[in-house]
Amino acid sequence: MTIIYLDYAATTPVLPEVVDAMLPYFTGLYGNASSTHSAGREARAAIHQARDNIASFVGCAPSQLVFTSGGTESNNMALFGAAAAQAGKGKHIITTQTEHHAVLHTSEHLEKLGYEVTYLPVDTTGRIRLDDLQQALRPDTILISIMYVNNEVGTMQPLQQIGELARSKGIIFHVDAVQALGHIPIDLNRLPVDLMSFSAHKLHGPKGIGALYIAKHAKLEPFMYGGNQERKRRAGTENTAAIAGFSKAVKIIDSNMYEMQQKMEKLRLEMVTRLEQLLGIEQFVINGHPVERLPHILNISFPGVSTESMLMNLDLEGIAAASGSACTSGSLEVSHVLKAMKLSEEVMKSAVRFSFGLGTTSKEIEITAHKIATIVNRIRNN
């Protein structure tokens, strides 16, 4: 059975062109980028080219990008690295209650190491209040880590204002932009951001590769030790094939971003409109911010139908959706994001995340909306 995959926020299929761009580096061009011979030089050239391309896509200098094993490592590197480099200045960190676990669990570990962390609350749409951030600032605050786009509800945080505030106080500002890359233009030349995390597998690149942007003035302690790769900021032989794949994915998305944004808005609208027609507008709730959000993530609650029942029934129909971040789906726990948004119990317990990508079609949306309506009516009438 071919499935209808509506879980692009968890991961995306690797595009065939991306696979083609990676293949040579497994066999013919397998050199180690640190080697001085021609095979090494070829690998090094591929990495240079990829770094130039990805840096130009996000508006930074190539030397400001460090390749990592993905979003999780980038977030860990940013938080541990910035905390360690500035421990002499202070030990207070600010983040939010709705971050991905790659930031939340890292923050919790930093607390064990003696740092103090403030977890900012959010409003019912998932946005922080700038007043709360202002009030949380302390003379010993060394780092603010706030995500660009939430992976469960798609809500965007006010990056510009947060960054300006951080700059005015000389505080390092880290942004987890894993769900933003490829969906919205990012120009690090203009954004008041010091560290930014990226991951390739959310934009049709391979898994296990990502990058961390490090502004020139931002000091980071490396947290991996070994060789001198990545200007001594991240030891370990570079994953040339994955880096080449990441770059190719960025190239493809770069030339399609506007169309992709239009397509995501259209698919989102189609899904909501069809559900309104089939179920009625009062029969479901859209979670997240109505405007300050990216369209590829659509989180909907169907009160009276538990998340698990909906996901299981959809799965039986060949439709893949999610209950939140991939790491917590499968467990019955209510999402920490929806909890932080202080939604009603009924809304939290019936939330499902649909996320769209390049391969999603209007036909798939139509089929999914019909299946959802059938499932909702069946369960509610039982």
CB of residue 276 to ligand PLP, shortest distance in Å: 28
Query: Nearest to ligand PLP by Cβ — which residue?
Result: 71
Instruction: Give yes or no for residue 195 binding ligand PLP (CB under 6 A).
Output: no
DSSP for residue 14: P
CB of residue 9 to ligand PLP, shortest distance in Å: 6
Please provide the DSSP assignment of 105-171 as one string: HHHHHHHHTT-EEEEE---TTSPPPHHHHHHH--TTEEEEE--SB-TTT-BBP-HHHHHHHHHHHT-
CB of residue 277 to ligand PLP, shortest distance in Å: 31
Catalytic residue among 136, 326, 327, 379: 327
Query: Distance (Å, rounded) from C-alpha 23 to C-alpha 25?
Result: 5
Q: Which two tokens stand for residue 75?
A: 């977030």
Instruction: Give yes or no for residue 72 binding ligand PLP (CB under 6 A).
Output: yes
Burial of 96 (0-12, 13-18, 19+ CB in 10 A): buried
Query: Distance (Å, rounded) from C-alpha 12 to C-alpha 7?
Result: 8
Which backbone phi and psi does 359 adopt, to 5 degrees? -85, -10
Instruction: Give yes or no for residue 322 binding ligand PLP (CB under 6 A).
Output: no
Interface stretch with ligand PLP, choices 171-179, 225-233, 270-278, 371-379 (CB under 6 A): 171-179
Instruction: Give yes or no for residue 326 binding ligand PLP (CB under 6 A).
Output: yes
* Nearer Cβ to ligand PLP (81/210): 210
- Residue 80's nearest CA partner among 102, 61, 50 is 102
CB of residue 359 to ligand PLP, shortest distance in Å: 18
Residue 345, classed as helix, strand or coil, is: helix
CB of residue 36 to ligand PLP, shortest distance in Å: 32
Which backbone phi and psi does 161 adopt, to 5 degrees? -65, -40
Spatial contact of 270 and 361, defined as CB atoms under 8 Å apart: no
Instruction: Give yes or no for residue 238 binding ligand PLP (CB under 6 A).
Output: no
Instruction: Give yes or no for residue 364 binding ligand PLP (CB under 6 A).
Output: no
Instruction: Give yes or no for residue 70 binding ligand PLP (CB under 6 A).
Output: yes
CB of residue 71 to ligand PLP, shortest distance in Å: 2
Binding residue for ligand PLP, selected from 31, 50, 55, 71, defined by CB under 6 A? 71
Interface stretch with ligand PLP, choices 65-73, 338-346, 364-372, 373-381 (CB under 6 A): 65-73
Return the residue matching tokens 């798609």. Answer: 154
Query: Distance (Å, rounded) from C-alpha 93 to C-alpha 283?
Result: 41
Query: Other CB atoms closer than 10 Å to residue 265's CB: what's the count?
Result: 14
Residues 97-136 that bind ligand PLP (CB under 6 A): 100, 102
Instruction: Give yes or no for residue 76 binding ligand PLP (CB under 6 A).
Output: no
Binding residue for ligand PLP, selected from 96, 107, 179, 306, defined by CB under 6 A? 179
Question: First CA to last CA across the chain, in angstroms?
Answer: 28
Active site residue 60: no
* Nearer Cβ to ligand PLP (184/326): 326
Instruction: Give yes or no for residue 245 binding ligand PLP (CB under 6 A).
Output: no
Catalytic site residues? Answer: 327
List residues binding ligand PLP (CB under 6 A): 70-72, 75, 100, 102, 147, 151, 176, 178-179, 199, 201, 210, 325-326
